Structure 1
């Protein structure tokens, strides 16, 4: 494993401490008085050299530096002493709290505090004079206060790191929400585009195929009429949708969403488009006259009927296509049935996007959806059934 490199600041601290210590030694300035009888000379430099060497690893090996520095500062007390040895030991205590592991950062302030109390009480018992309190103060300045300062700095750094991490997480969540919003908007636009245009394009495809397949001028003319009508209506729907996407002005009112009151026109259009395929369309609206539905539910129900009629034009056998609406206290049921089998004549291949869009719409309002072939009264039919929940609060209009 590659050992971490010595930090540049640690090299500067070690060099500055050694230079200052040598200057003090050269001028004969020691931390203990001349009456102590302790040795002077080059022996004073041994603890200083050891402490400045430990300053080089104060950041990379903080616990080792603290243990060895304690030994060095104790050894310095058996000489006349150098003030820079003591000052640099205080810096090593500070670094051990700031850069050491969390356990050391918690234990060192407590340990140095206990050592300060023990030294103060010990010298008071030895000297039995108030001057012993000064030794306790010096011990606190060298060990306890640097440890407390390191703990404060470490806590501030951890708080800053936590705030930075929280900001990064918030940014990531915001980006994820933005992407989800973009995906949801694309899905909504895909549903709207499919629901608005699919019916017209399906009718155009069916009648153009019929016009090409049947050599009958009258049939071809009728097919061309239906093609023209659906192409004009589809183009108008496309222009309206493109206008809504391009126009972002706040002053414009939102386009009105289709409601179930427009089902009669929807069924009439399907009846016109499906006349040449032998399809008969019936609408049975069993809702109460005073039924008020929330806009999302009403839009979902309208789109379900619209897509079901489009699918019937593309795939249903000749026969009756029934649209049934029933309302209860807490739900609106939409059911569309059509003959199911192998239909002769022109057909339009399906992609399955319509069923996916219907399921998505029902899921958005919390309803239930099912679609598939069933046998009813001995006949095989294709049934689309959606149950849309309507709560009491939703049904009551705002005051």
Structure 2
């Protein structure tokens, strides 16, 4: 079983508690400077203050560095305690690691000055051996934590740089993969259109010609030859229509994931979309409801794909921008058209400042327009309303295709 990782606040609390308990133990045994002349209670305030500063060592690094220095200076006169000194060095370390960049040179300057002043005073009023000892101790207290923090911060910056570089590499790899998918789909679409579709067209033309020849020969209407030619022509025309739809799907799905485009290209996958949206919307207080009216019947593949994408984009926008409430999706199947209505709770100004805002609305409008339908979206009666009309009959270069 994996152990839970402590939070930064818990780590800081643990450091403060350990320093406080260690200091209390040292005070109990009178292990501090001038213990014979200084009472125990006089050492305690500096210890408590330093432990309290440890609790905010990450969130207030500048404050703890300043106050910690004052507390440490006071502790020298009230009875220097090892626990208080160690916690002060940790505060200096935290000020460099978690504070702004300017903290390191400022603390280095003040620390170097403290070392020089204390060493000089000791040399003037005491012997050189004591001055050397004071120099070593002050360097360890004032400069040692800063050097350690500089090394740690440098390694963290290098690690962050490597992480960002790895993310960029992964992003470039993903872009290369998608470009390869798009190129392969375009190649497949060209091959299907240039090879298979041409053969199906030739079969349909020859079957039609054969039917004309057979009729000029005055064959009976129930002649098996005419029936076979009719079946060949009908299936070749139907296959050609489906081939053109597949070519359109391959060209239309170039900008997204391959699995998504093929796993959910029509209205049969709307229920799965709603299930995913409900799972994602629980944390933000969103519910989703789907209502269908009329008979779905047979819809052309491009109409189903456009309807699916409009519903998908509407649900995505609701998850990003809608306030808590119910998102209602209506699919109204009428004899001549499919009407789509999506209403979600409206938050004033939601998503206006985001990069690429309204790009999804433009895409939905373009899909509806290409099929000869209509699209509109905007706030209405406290809701963000999306309305799309997709005709069941699609206008093409060769005429009108009906479901």
TM normalised by structure 2 equals 0.49
Q: Which has the higher contact order (CA 8 A, sep 6+)?
A: 1
TM normalised by structure 1 equals 0.50
Name the larger-Rg structure.
1
